[in-house]
Amino acid sequence: MNSYSFLITLFIHLEHPGNLSTTPTIRLKSVKHPNGRHPAMLVCSAYNFYPKQIQLTWLRNDQDVTEGVSYTDVIPDGKLYYRFHSYLEYTPTSGDKISCMVKHFTLFEPRVIVWNDSFTEEEKNEIVVGLCALMLGLVILTSGFIYYKKKSALYNSICQGRAVIPVDVIPEF
Protein backbone atom coordinates (compact mmCIF):
# COMPACT_ATOMS: atom_id res chain seq x y z
CA MET A 1 0.00 0.00 0.00
CA ASN A 2 1.55 3.29 -1.04
CA SER A 3 1.43 6.35 1.20
CA TYR A 4 -1.31 8.04 -0.85
CA SER A 5 -3.76 5.12 -0.56
CA PHE A 6 -2.86 4.75 3.14
CA LEU A 7 -3.77 8.41 3.75
CA ILE A 8 -7.06 8.02 1.85
CA THR A 9 -7.90 4.90 3.89
CA LEU A 10 -6.97 6.67 7.13
CA PHE A 11 -9.07 9.71 6.18
CA ILE A 12 -12.11 7.51 5.44
CA HIS A 13 -11.73 5.71 8.77
CA LEU A 14 -11.29 8.93 10.72
CA GLU A 15 -14.30 10.47 9.00
CA HIS A 16 -16.41 7.35 9.67
CA PRO A 17 -14.86 5.70 12.75
CA GLY A 18 -17.51 2.96 12.82
CA ASN A 19 -15.84 1.44 9.74
CA LEU A 20 -12.67 0.80 11.73
CA SER A 21 -14.08 -1.55 14.38
CA THR A 22 -13.13 -5.13 13.58
CA THR A 23 -14.07 -8.44 15.19
CA PRO A 24 -11.06 -10.29 16.60
CA THR A 25 -9.73 -13.48 15.06
CA ILE A 26 -9.27 -15.92 17.94
CA ARG A 27 -6.93 -18.92 18.15
CA LEU A 28 -6.45 -21.39 20.97
CA LYS A 29 -3.41 -23.66 20.87
CA SER A 30 -1.06 -25.66 23.05
CA VAL A 31 2.61 -24.69 23.38
CA LYS A 32 5.57 -26.13 25.23
CA HIS A 33 6.55 -24.25 28.36
CA PRO A 34 10.12 -22.90 27.97
CA ASN A 35 11.37 -24.15 31.33
CA GLY A 36 9.27 -27.33 31.28
CA ARG A 37 7.98 -27.03 34.84
CA HIS A 38 4.29 -27.36 33.82
CA PRO A 39 2.98 -30.28 31.82
CA ALA A 40 0.77 -28.09 29.65
CA MET A 41 0.44 -24.50 28.51
CA LEU A 42 -2.36 -23.09 26.37
CA VAL A 43 -2.29 -19.79 24.50
CA CYS A 44 -5.45 -17.91 23.62
CA SER A 45 -4.70 -15.23 21.03
CA ALA A 46 -6.86 -12.46 19.60
CA TYR A 47 -5.70 -10.82 16.36
CA ASN A 48 -6.75 -7.98 14.06
CA PHE A 49 -9.25 -6.25 16.32
CA TYR A 50 -10.22 -2.65 16.96
CA PRO A 51 -10.91 -0.88 19.30
CA LYS A 52 -8.13 -1.76 21.68
CA GLN A 53 -10.25 -2.78 24.68
CA ILE A 54 -10.59 -6.56 24.95
CA GLN A 55 -11.02 -9.12 27.71
CA LEU A 56 -9.83 -12.75 27.63
CA THR A 57 -10.92 -15.09 30.42
CA TRP A 58 -9.95 -18.72 30.99
CA LEU A 59 -12.62 -21.21 32.04
CA ARG A 60 -12.22 -24.72 33.45
CA ASN A 61 -15.48 -26.64 33.43
CA ASP A 62 -17.28 -23.28 32.89
CA GLN A 63 -15.70 -21.74 36.03
CA ASP A 64 -13.30 -18.76 35.91
CA VAL A 65 -9.62 -19.68 36.27
CA THR A 66 -7.19 -17.15 37.76
CA GLU A 67 -4.29 -19.35 38.90
CA GLY A 68 -1.57 -19.93 36.31
CA VAL A 69 -2.90 -17.21 33.99
CA SER A 70 -0.72 -14.52 32.43
CA TYR A 71 -1.32 -11.87 29.78
CA THR A 72 0.71 -9.84 27.32
CA ASP A 73 0.04 -6.16 26.78
CA VAL A 74 -2.34 -5.29 23.97
CA ILE A 75 0.09 -4.93 21.07
CA PRO A 76 -0.46 -2.75 17.99
CA ASP A 77 0.29 -4.69 14.81
CA GLY A 78 1.22 -1.66 12.71
CA LYS A 79 -1.98 -1.68 10.62
CA LEU A 80 -4.26 0.22 13.04
CA TYR A 81 -5.32 -3.08 14.64
CA TYR A 82 -4.24 -4.90 17.80
CA ARG A 83 -3.36 -8.35 19.09
CA PHE A 84 -3.45 -9.84 22.57
CA HIS A 85 -2.28 -13.14 24.09
CA SER A 86 -3.20 -14.93 27.30
CA TYR A 87 -1.41 -17.99 28.67
CA LEU A 88 -2.74 -20.73 30.93
CA GLU A 89 -0.35 -23.08 32.72
CA TYR A 90 -2.20 -26.14 33.99
CA THR A 91 -2.00 -29.80 34.83
CA PRO A 92 -4.53 -31.63 32.64
CA THR A 93 -6.96 -33.99 34.28
CA SER A 94 -9.37 -36.38 32.61
CA GLY A 95 -12.72 -34.83 31.75
CA ASP A 96 -11.61 -31.20 32.11
CA LYS A 97 -13.21 -28.75 29.70
CA ILE A 98 -10.79 -25.85 29.18
CA SER A 99 -11.98 -22.82 27.23
CA CYS A 100 -11.10 -19.23 26.49
CA MET A 101 -13.83 -16.58 26.60
CA VAL A 102 -13.35 -13.35 24.64
CA LYS A 103 -15.33 -10.16 25.20
CA HIS A 104 -14.99 -7.33 22.70
CA PHE A 105 -16.99 -4.31 21.54
CA THR A 106 -17.66 -5.93 18.13
CA LEU A 107 -19.06 -9.18 19.57
CA PHE A 108 -22.75 -9.27 20.43
CA GLU A 109 -22.05 -11.89 23.09
CA PRO A 110 -18.82 -13.34 24.50
CA ARG A 111 -17.17 -15.86 22.18
CA VAL A 112 -16.10 -19.08 23.89
CA ILE A 113 -13.43 -21.26 22.24
CA VAL A 114 -13.20 -24.75 23.76
CA TRP A 115 -9.82 -26.49 23.82
CA ASN A 116 -9.89 -29.79 21.99
CA ASP A 117 -6.63 -31.72 22.19
CA SER A 118 -7.48 -34.07 19.35
CA PHE A 119 -6.31 -33.41 15.79
CA THR A 120 -8.23 -31.07 13.50
CA GLU A 121 -9.37 -32.32 10.09
CA GLU A 122 -6.54 -30.39 8.43
CA GLU A 123 -3.96 -31.98 10.73
CA LYS A 124 -5.45 -35.45 10.11
CA ASN A 125 -5.24 -34.86 6.35
CA GLU A 126 -1.61 -33.77 6.64
CA ILE A 127 -0.78 -36.93 8.60
CA VAL A 128 -2.55 -39.17 6.06
CA VAL A 129 -0.76 -37.50 3.13
CA GLY A 130 2.58 -37.83 4.93
CA LEU A 131 2.00 -41.51 5.67
CA CYS A 132 0.97 -42.18 2.05
CA ALA A 133 4.14 -40.48 0.80
CA LEU A 134 6.20 -42.54 3.25
CA MET A 135 4.55 -45.78 2.09
CA LEU A 136 5.09 -44.87 -1.58
CA GLY A 137 8.75 -44.14 -0.86
CA LEU A 138 9.16 -47.50 0.88
CA VAL A 139 7.52 -49.34 -2.05
CA ILE A 140 9.83 -47.59 -4.54
CA LEU A 141 12.89 -48.29 -2.38
CA THR A 142 11.95 -51.97 -1.96
CA SER A 143 11.24 -52.36 -5.69
CA GLY A 144 14.59 -50.79 -6.55
CA PHE A 145 16.39 -53.08 -4.12
CA ILE A 146 14.67 -56.20 -5.53
CA TYR A 147 15.45 -55.09 -9.11
CA TYR A 148 19.12 -54.53 -8.18
CA LYS A 149 19.40 -57.96 -6.52
CA LYS A 150 17.81 -59.75 -9.50
CA LYS A 151 20.07 -57.94 -11.97
CA SER A 152 23.19 -58.71 -9.95
CA ALA A 153 22.11 -62.37 -9.54
CA LEU A 154 21.56 -62.68 -13.33
CA TYR A 155 24.93 -61.10 -14.03
CA ASN A 156 26.65 -63.44 -11.57
CA SER A 157 24.96 -66.53 -13.06
CA ILE A 158 26.00 -65.56 -16.63
CA CYS A 159 29.60 -64.74 -15.73
CA GLN A 160 30.10 -67.43 -13.10
CA GLY A 161 32.89 -69.86 -14.01
CA ARG A 162 33.67 -68.22 -17.33
CA ALA A 163 36.79 -66.31 -18.14
CA VAL A 164 36.41 -62.88 -19.59
CA ILE A 165 38.52 -62.55 -22.75
CA PRO A 166 39.58 -59.11 -23.91
CA VAL A 167 38.32 -58.20 -27.39
CA ASP A 168 41.80 -57.65 -28.85
CA VAL A 169 42.80 -61.26 -28.01
CA ILE A 170 39.90 -62.93 -29.88
CA PRO A 171 41.18 -64.47 -33.12
CA GLU A 172 39.57 -63.52 -36.45
CA PHE A 173 38.30 -66.16 -38.90
What is the arithmetic mean of pLDDT over 10-18? Answer: 45
Note the pLDDT tens digit of each residue in 66-106: 888 989 999 998 778 999 999 998 877 777 889 999 999 89
What does the CA dihedral 106, 111, 116, 117 come to, rounded to 10 degrees?
A: 50
> Among positive and negative, which fits the CA dihedral 63, 69, 74, 79?
negative
What is the arithmetic mean of pLDDT over 38-46? Answer: 84
Exposure class string for 83-96: b at 16+ Cβ within 10 A, else e: bbbbbbebeeeeee
Predicted confidence at residue 16, as pLDDT, reads 43
The full set of domain ranges for the chain reads: 3-116, 122-167
Burial of 26 (0-12, 13-18, 19+ CB in 10 A): buried
pTM: 0.58
Which overall architecture, per CATH, does domain 3-116 show?
Answer: Sandwich (2.60)
What is the arithmetic mean of pLDDT over 130-136? Answer: 92
Segment of 15-19, 71-75, 155-159 carrying the highest mean pLDDT: 71-75
Note the pLDDT tens digit of each residue in 109-131: 999 999 887 666 777 788 889 99
Radius of gyration of the chain (CA): 32
Predicted confidence at residue 152, as pLDDT, reads 76
Predicted confidence at residue 38, as pLDDT, reads 59
Predicted confidence at residue 21, as pLDDT, reads 80
What is the arithmetic mean of pLDDT over 52-61? Answer: 92
Predicted confidence at residue 120, as pLDDT, reads 65
